Each structure stands twice: as C-alpha cells, then as structure tokens.
Structure 1
Amino acid sequence: MSLHKQPALKEAVLNLPQKEKDKLLVRLIGKDKMLMKQLHFKLLEDQLDLEQRIDSLKERLRELFAEHRAALKNIPMYSNYKQLHLLIRQANGIINEHEKVTKDKLSEIECRMYILNEAFVRYPRLFERSAVHAAIKLQEYVKARIKTAVNKFNTLHEDLQFDLDEDVQQLVGFATAHDLL
C-alpha cells in the first residue's frame, strides 16, 4: 500500500520526533538493497567513484562475453540462440542496476550499444532470418533493445551524441541489414 493513499499515516510519520524518524528511516533503508546502493552512491561517492564504477561495469561486460566465448558459437542452432538471448539479458540486467544506482545516462547508453554491437560482431549468423522459435525470440528482444538504445541516444545532448555516433552507426547499419529495425 502506498503512503500517498494514506494521508493520515503520512501526517503521523511527519509529526514523529526527529530521533524516532531517524530510527525508522535507517530500519527501512536496511530492507531495500537497491535503495541502500542508491543512497551510498548519492551520499558517499563522487565523480571519480562514478568513473571507477563505469570502468568496472565495462570490464564486467567484457568478461561476461569472454566467459561465453567457448560455449556460444556463431552457428544457427537452437542452443546458441537461447544462450545468446540469456547472455544479452544478463548484460542488460547489469546495466539496469548500474543505471538505477548512478542515473548516468551516457554510460548506460554506451554500454547498451557495446553489448549489442558485440553480439552482432561475434555472432552475426544468429541474426539471420530463421524459423526457429528461439531465433525469433532473440531477434524480437534485440529489436526492442535497439529501439530503446536509439531512443535514449536521441535524448542526449548533441556533443554526447557525437562521442557515440560511430557506435550508433555500426548498430543501425547491422540492424538495418538484418531487418532488426
């Protein structure tokens, strides 16, 4: 139940003594891991920490693709479609967490472009037309990720767009050639 739907409770909480409110706040924060991460970033970290987080995120994504290099082949087979779909979803989950904590749009878009371009470069045959259900699911998922990434890219300031233009052109070029747009 939402607090804004219960104005009496909200008023009562606001009227609590400061010490009691502080205790409640600390208890509530401890129950939400994402909120703890967001507060830690907002209250205790600076620009240098953000740069370290971004470098760490990029390294984690590179390692994720490297880990799957042996198991995932550029051969249009059911298992490869499924494996690549799971890999891209896992990478997007990592990026989602980073974005929720830092609210940094540039690194989010840059990393989303990276995972899509990496998948296209490493596994181009998995994006060719196919009647295999797993291939269709993978391609629909990737279409949605491309649309989201391009839309977010278009909201960036033009100077930032300039920095990412090469990645976007590579992404859009591959997507257009493979009917993913």
Structure 2
Amino acid sequence: MKLSEHKDLKMAITELPLKEKDKLLLRLIAKDKVLTEHLHYKLLEGELDLEDRKEKIKTDVTNQIPSLAKLNAKEALAIVRKMITSVNHFYKVTKDSFGEVELKVFILHNIPLDYKRSLFGYRDYGFLFSAFYIKTLSVTLNKFHKLHEDLQFDLKEEWNHLLDKIYSSKLAAEAAASSIPKEIA
C-alpha cells in the first residue's frame, strides 16, 4: 500500500498530535537499519564524519588487498563483492554520489585482476570474476557521467589510471566488448 494512493490516510497522519507522530516515527525507524543509520548520519554527523566513513572503507580495502593475490578466483570474487557492497551501503546511508564513485574506482583500481584457477568444480569463477568486475566498472562509469563536470574533473585522473590498468590486462577484450572507453577525455 502506497501512501500516495491514500490521500485520506496522509491527511489523518498530518493531523495526529505531535507526541503520537513521534512515537510512530520512532517505531517505523526502528524497523529499518539503513534508515536508522541514514537519519543518524543526516541529523548527527557532518562533513568530517563523511570523510571518516570513506577512509574507513579505504583502510579496510587496503588491508585486504595483499591477501587477495594469494586467493583463487572464487574466494577473491566473494571478497570483492563484499567490498562493493560496503560502498553500496555507504551510498544508501550518505547519499554521496561522488564518494560512491570515488570509492568504487579506488577498489577497482587496487584489486588484482589475475587469480589462480580452481582445479575442482564445474563453474569458471575466473569468468564470473571478470564479468562482475566489468559490470561494476560499467555501472560506476555511468554514475560518473551523471556527476557534475567539476566532480568528474576531480576523478578523471584516477579513472584514466584504472582504464590503463584494465586495457593492459587480460580484461581488455571484455572491456572493449562492453564499450568501456580507453580514456576519459
């Protein structure tokens, strides 16, 4: 049931006494962890906290990178997915598009692209890793193009380093097939 479809309910809610509204609001917020965290960020945190959140994610990623090179593609895929999920959560909480793109470029640039093949199993996790990497790259590139041009300028150099890395790796053919540019002009 959408609130927009029930105008009479909307009116009844706006006419509730303030104390009752507060009680209902707190009960609703308690049911959604992301909403609770978003409200905490919006109401109680500032610009320094945003930078702290970004730095925490970068530190976590940096600490995991040395161990990634020793893993097979299946294990690496699971860890990289968790890294990207943490950035997605960061965006849901902060609504910081620039930070989301910046963090994803940081992750994609710093993770290794070549992993050991698993000798057992029927799935080619090397292929799955490559597909996930290119898809994440493509989605992030689209979000990058939606940013203001001044913000794009700030990330342009990092993007070009990332694209150089990709086009000098085994993912070059997949990137070209997915219409990933070789350079951000």
Q: Specify the TM-score bucket, using the shorter chain as the normaliser.
A: 0.7 to 0.9
Offset, 1:133: 2.2
**Any conservation in 2 of the 1:142–1:180 contact (CA below 8 Å)?**
no
Q: Which residue, 143, 162, 165 being the options, matches 2:153? A: 162
Offset, 1:148: 1.1
- Larger mean Cα displacement after TM superposition, 156-165 or 97-106: 156-165
Offset, 1:157: 2.8
Report the identity percentage.
Answer: 37
Mapped pair 1:103 → 2:98: no
What amino acid sits opposite 1:85 in the alignment?
L
SS in structure 2 opposite 1:180? helix
Offset, 1:16: 1.5
Q: Which blocks of at least 5 consecutive residues in structure 2 are unaligned? A: 117-122, 176-185
- The equivalent residue for 2:6 is 6
| Correspondence 1:3-82 to 2 at 5 A | 3-66=3-66, 68-69=67-68, 71-72=70-71, 80-82=72-74
Mapped pair 1:123 → 2:117: no
Q: Deviations over 1:47-76 (max 9, x none)?
A: 12212222122112222334x34751xxxx
Q: Which blocks of at least 5 consecutive residues in structure 1 are unaligned? A: 73-79, 127-131
What amino acid sits opposite 2:139 in the alignment?
T
SS in structure 1 opposite 2:174? coil
Q: How far apart, in 1, do the equivalents of 2:105 and 2:148 lie?
A: 17
Q: How far apart, in 1, do the equivalents of 2:128 and 2:68 lie?
A: 21
Root-mean-square deviation over aligned CA pairs:
2.3
What amino acid sits opposite 2:60 in the alignment?
R
Q: How far apart, in 2, do the equivalents of 1:69 and 1:137 lie?
A: 16
Q: How far apart, in 2, do the equivalents of 1:98 and 1:174 lie?
A: 26
**Any conservation in 2 of the 1:29–1:36 contact (CA below 8 Å)?**
yes
Return closer, same or farther for 1:96/1:4 CA change in 2, 3 Å cut-off. Answer: same
- The equivalent residue for 1:129 is none
Offset, 1:125: 5.5
Q: How far apart, in 1, do the equivalents of 2:49 and 2:139 lie?
A: 27
**Any conservation in 1 of the 2:73–2:125 contact (CA below 8 Å)?**
yes
| TM-score, normalization by structure 2 | 0.79
Q: How far apart, in 1, do the equivalents of 2:156 and 2:114 lie?
A: 21
Q: How far apart, in 2, do the equivalents of 1:166 and 1:34 lie?
A: 32
**Equivalent residue pairs, number:** 168
Q: Deviations over 1:18-40 (max 9, x none)?
A: 21111111111111111111001
What amino acid sits opposite 1:30 in the alignment?
A
- The equivalent residue for 1:89 is 81
What amino acid sits opposite 1:124 in the alignment?
D
What amino acid sits opposite 2:113 in the alignment?
Y
- The equivalent residue for 1:76 is none
**Any conservation in 1 of the 2:73–2:126 contact (CA below 8 Å)?**
yes
